Amino acid sequence: MLFMNRKPRQNNGPIAANISAIRTDLGLSQEQFAEAIGTSQTTISAWENGQDPRRSNIEQLLERFPQYSLEDIYGVETGFAKTLGRPAPRRVPCAPLFGSIAGGSPIEMLPVTEYVEIPASLLARYPHAFYLRISGESMNRVIPNGSFALIDPSQQELIDGQLYALRVNGSDATIKRVRVTLTTVTLVPESFSPSFEPAEFERVAAHESIESIGRVVWFCAPLPRQQ
């Protein structure tokens, strides 16, 4: 009996064109798109050339880019490739927003209840970034109260002079500028109010007291709601 090599099943439908259109709409290369959804560039290329993606891949894509839908991917006349040229508001990439990160709660276990727009260039540079809502006045000289700070969790190593989202002694997340020396780590507020003071830790103790969540790479202020 002869056994023939079986090639991956190719789809004859609109999925390839729809995925390509979504990636183009986001302004991402195949490499950047792959990084954002946790797969490889060769996989993205295969999808755009007609290979069927797994359902789990589609779910991951929609979780990372919730502005798109199953209809955008699987639809024929209603798929994204067909609707892209029709008059409609341009879809923009989004990142998850956490109101706060409670002490001891891993980020990946927290429910995401809201998504906020993010420039495509930032998404390409920081594909795993998320927003934290700033609550308080301790950093109002650089990030106003109520703003959304974009956090890159891949940059957790504390570098002198940079802004970080941190947990101190297991508390909720805070954002501070860090000053690092050979012997100390100091969390420095940047506020117009003199009531906020720096907190200094011995370098050895800092490893136990301070947990870095990620570096602040950008922030934006939400538009006020119309009454």
Q: Would 134 be classed as within a structural domain?
A: yes
Q: What is the mean pLDDT of residues 208-224?
A: 89
- Is 2 a residue whose pLDDT tops 80? no
Q: Which residue has the higher pLDDT, 92 or 165?
A: 165
Q: 34, 64, 83 — which closes off a domain?
A: 83
Q: What is the CATH number of the domain that holds 119?
A: 2.10.109.10
Q: Would 225 be classed as within a structural domain?
A: no
- Is 88 a residue whose pLDDT tops 70? no
- Residue 78 sits in the same domain as residue 117: no
- Is 120 a residue whose pLDDT tops 90? no
Terminal Cα distance for the chain, rounded: 75
- Is 4 a residue whose pLDDT tops 50? no
Report CA-CA distances (Å) from 16 to 1, 3, 21, 30, 90: 35, 29, 9, 13, 20
pTM of the model: 0.65
Q: Would 2 be classed as within a structural domain?
A: no
Domain count, the chain: 2
Quickly count: other Cβ atoms within 10 Å of residue 221's Cβ.
12
Q: Would 181 be classed as within a structural domain?
A: yes
Q: Would 141 be classed as within a structural domain?
A: yes
- Residue 213 sits in the same domain as residue 194: yes
Quickly count: other Cβ atoms within 10 Å of residue 13's Cβ.
13
The model's pLDDT over 8-53, given as tens digits with 9 standing for 90+, comes to: 444 446 899 999 999 988 889 999 999 999 999 999 999 999 998 9
> What domain range includes position 33?
15-83
- Residue 74 sits in the same domain as residue 120: no
The model's pLDDT over 132-157, given as tens digits with 9 standing for 90+, comes to: 988 889 999 999 998 999 999 999 99
Q: What is the CATH number of the domain that holds 41?
A: 1.10.260.40
